[in-house]
Amino acid sequence: MLRVPVRVLFFFILFTVSTFTFIESAIAQPPFPTPPLPPYFSNLTVTPSQIEIGDNVTISIDIRNTDSLSITYGVTIWIENAAFPPPFWPPYDVTLRIWVDLEAYESKTVSRTITLDTIGEYHVWVEGLTGIFTVGIWPPEIPLRPAELVLSDLSIEPEEAELFEGIDVWNFKITVDVTNVGEQEGMDTINLRVDGSIVDRRTVKLKGGEQVTIMYDVMRGVGSYTVEVDGLTGSFVVLNTLKPDEVELSELEALGRQALIHDDEERPIVEGEYVIFSVLVKNIGETEGTYTVEFKVDGETTDTYNWTLAAGRGHRALVYYEALNAGTYQVSVGDLTETFTVRAPLEPAEFEFSNLQITPRVKIGMSVNISVDVTNVGEMMGFCTFELKLNGRVVESVEIPSFGGGVTATQFFELKRGEGTYEVEVEGLTGSFTVARAEPSFWDKIPGFPYESIILGLVAVIVIIWRSHKS
């Protein structure tokens, strides 16, 4: 029997296991490994874009791993004079390599700072992205002068004006130039003062070196005025060449209130009645004015009247005065005077009847005319009612409309009555009239007149003519 040493058997088993393990591992692996995806580059920046010799410039770029595996990538930065743009550059002036480790889908920003000692314009090229910076000798930066707004050329038009009829104010144009003498943009508020008081303000915004003209409108009446616009001063004057306001009084009247109501200027003024004083007030000047008109009775002020009148306008001033006592008084306004009389109260209306006229005799069928005069012997107006009586019986009532004191009215009646005699009475006045048949005439007394008489006459005439022919 063949005996195999243990050592040999051990190495054989170890060899067999190793061989199978290698074969299984080789079968599990793909024949060709998949290469990783390239990273993605973006946002190449070069700061600053201008540097002086010996200064630093920083180049940075964003890199993102687009693969699911971790990678280590070397970022190459080429820097060369821009006179030879890629891809025709000669060997680069500067070549930089930056190694960066990226986990799956990780993004990073990598940068490098360098210093160049040669003047020129340089191109930077990183993975297809380009940038530019310039190396040179630059003059020191001079800061811009801050904004400063300066005012000049204050102008007032007109500087002197005259008012004329119908105009009580004048419109002035005030202008001023505002200049920004700085180099930066600036803004300020420009105030206009007239006699120390701010009347207008404007906000101005100007670029460096820019200029603008501001205009203000100011309306003022008669007087002298000072103007200030942030330190610049001026003045203007409004002159009054118009005739000043002046009052003229005329047509002073004193009239009883009742006379005015009833449009009867002859109506007397009675105790206890109000008297109306009136006067025409006229402004004969060329400017508006306010006036106080003072009414006096026998030198004592009883009332005042205030009114404002435009140039050339007039107004009638009216006041009331209570006439308490009878007498004669004098009202005055300025240099005007007027006398009025107040009398005792009027006597009430009282009527007297007179001059009763009656047609004394009429025939049957004819009218009887009757008239009577009625006089108001009082002083006040009143109504009069009276009656006409025949044989003691009232046959007609009469009402005479109101009429004034001292007025006489005649009232007429026309009556028809049958045959007979009638007694007439009107408020104590009496008379009578007769209605009778007419008395017969001579012819009325001839029997058979007129027809029988005519026939007898004709017969007589025929007989006379026949006898004369026969003889």
User: In the 3-class helix/strand/coil scheme, how is 234-254 assigned residue by residue?
Assistant: EEEEEEECCCCCCEEEEEEEE
Query: Residue 141 pLDDT more than 70?
Result: no
Share of the chain above pLDDT 70, in %: 81
Lowest mean pLDDT among 28-32, 140-144, 256-260, 295-299: 28-32
Give the CA count within 13 Å in the CB-facing half-sphere of 277: 26
What type of residue is 321? Answer: Y
Asked if 364 and 419 touch (Cβ cutoff 8 Å), the reply is: yes
Structure tokens of 67? 């693969």
222-275 per-position pLDDT tens digit: 889 999 998 899 999 988 766 666 778 888 888 877 666 666 666 778 888 888
Main-chain phi, psi angles of 165, to 5 degrees: -60, 130
**Pairing state of beta strands 382-390 and 408-416?**
unpaired
pLDDT band at residue 89 under the 50/70/90 scheme? very low
**Is the peptide bond preceding residue 36 cis, with omega within 30 degrees of 0?**
no
pLDDT band at residue 446 under the 50/70/90 scheme? low
Main-chain phi, psi angles of 23, to 5 degrees: -65, -45
Residues in the chain: 471
3-state secondary structure of 73: strand
Query: Residue 316 pLDDT more than 50?
Result: yes
DSSP H or E run through 20: helix 6-28
Q: What is the largest CA-CA distance in the chain?
A: 252
Which has more confidence, 127 or 214? 214
Report d(CA 47, CA 64) in Å as an integer.
22
pLDDT at 332: 92
pLDDT band at residue 369 under the 50/70/90 scheme? very high
Main-chain phi, psi angles of 465, to 5 degrees: -65, -40
Mean pLDDT over 414-437 rounds to: 90
Mean pLDDT over 52-59 rounds to: 86
Report d(CA 307, CA 291) in Å as an integer.
5
Q: Report the 10 Å Cβ neighbour count for 37.
A: 12
Report d(CA 54, CA 117) in Å as an integer.
6
Closest CA to 147 of 230, 214, 209, 229: 209
Q: To the nearest 10°, report the CA torsion of 176, 179, 185, 188.
A: -30
Print burial letters for 201-229: b (CB count within 10 Å at least 16), e (below 16). ebebebebeeeeebebebebebeebebbb
Q: What are the structural domains, with CATH classification, of the chain?
A: 40-136 (2.60.40.10), 149-240 (2.60.40.10), 247-343 (2.60.40.10), 351-436 (2.60.40.10)
Asked if 281 and 315 touch (Cβ cutoff 8 Å), the reply is: yes
Residue with tokens 């205009």: 215
pLDDT at 165: 61
Structure tokens of 289? 């004015």
Residue by residue, DSSP assigns 164-225 as -TT---EEEEEEEEEEE-SSS-EEEEEEEEETTEEEEEEEEEE-TT-EEEEEEEEEE-SEEE
3-state secondary structure of 451: helix
Please provide the average confidence, as pLDDT, over all residues in the chain. Answer: 82
Mean pLDDT over 66-92 rounds to: 71
Report the number of secondary-structure helices (H) and strands (E) in the chain: 3, 32
Residue by residue, DSSP assigns 274-319 as EEEEEEEEEE-SSS-EEEEEEEEETTEEEEEEEEEE-TT-EEEEEE
Closest CA to 113 of 44, 187, 55: 55
3-state secondary structure of 89: coil
Which has more confidence, 470 or 41? 41
Asked if 405 and 346 touch (Cβ cutoff 8 Å), the reply is: yes
Report d(CA 460, CA 189) in Å as an integer.
146
169-209 per-position pLDDT tens digit: 888 999 999 999 988 898 999 999 999 999 999 999 999 88
Asked if 411 and 400 touch (Cβ cutoff 8 Å), the reply is: yes
Q: Positive or negative, the Cα torsion across 347, 350, 352, 353?
A: positive
Global pTM reads: 0.33
**Is the peptide bond preceding residue 146 cis, with omega within 30 degrees of 0?**
no
pLDDT at 424: 92
